[in-house]
Structure 1
């Protein structure tokens, strides 16, 4: 599968999951996907690969408690990315 096919499949998947979970159109914005991918890359490369999906879940959980979850997710992702950048490398 080519890069554009991957991107299209991801966009369709995100839209379908968003509909299934009743999240509306806010998650279909490509910048949201980019934010999550950047966040998980920061954690996977700076802290721990298994920590990446767990961190994404935690950011989503925290954002879901906010009045504006999308804005909160962006803020939380930036905070966690900064934390991961300064995390000591213990991966031997």
Structure 2
């Protein structure tokens, strides 16, 4: 777990509880989302980072296995961002 993820753990746990997301792997999700948003912020645009995370959340929420979808889709989106020439 990264230092950023560790610092965010209480907040993320409170949010997942508030949203009724009791089955979410918060540790893996935070590391994955932070990595993705960093890639987007540095390769595409800073405002694109939270928007991308939001869209990833919608896509993962529609998947049969949301935790697996987050892993797979975030890898695809990171690759897209790192190769982005807009």
Q: TM-score, normalised by structure 1?
A: 0.83
Secondary structure, in 3 states, of the residue corresponding to 2:84? coil
Instruction: Tell me the CA shift for residue 32 of structure 1.
Output: 1.4
Query: When the two structures are aligned, how many residues end up with a matched partner?
Result: 85
Matched, 1:32 2:29: yes
CA gap 1:17/1:46 in 2 versus in 1, 3 angstroms: same
Kindly report the root-mean-square deviation, in angstroms, between the aligned alpha carbons of the 2 structures.
1.8
Higher relative contact order (CA 8 A, sep 6+): 2
Which one has a bigger Cα radius of gyration? 1
Secondary structure, in 3 states, of the residue corresponding to 2:46? coil
Q: TM-score, normalised by structure 2?
A: 0.89
Matched, 1:84 2:81: yes
Runs of 5+ consecutive residues of structure 1 not aligned to the other structure: none
For 2:55 and 2:82, locate their aligned partners in 1 and report how far apart those are by CA, in whole Å: 18
Where does structure 1 differ by over 3 angstroms across 4 or more consecutive aligned residues?
6-9
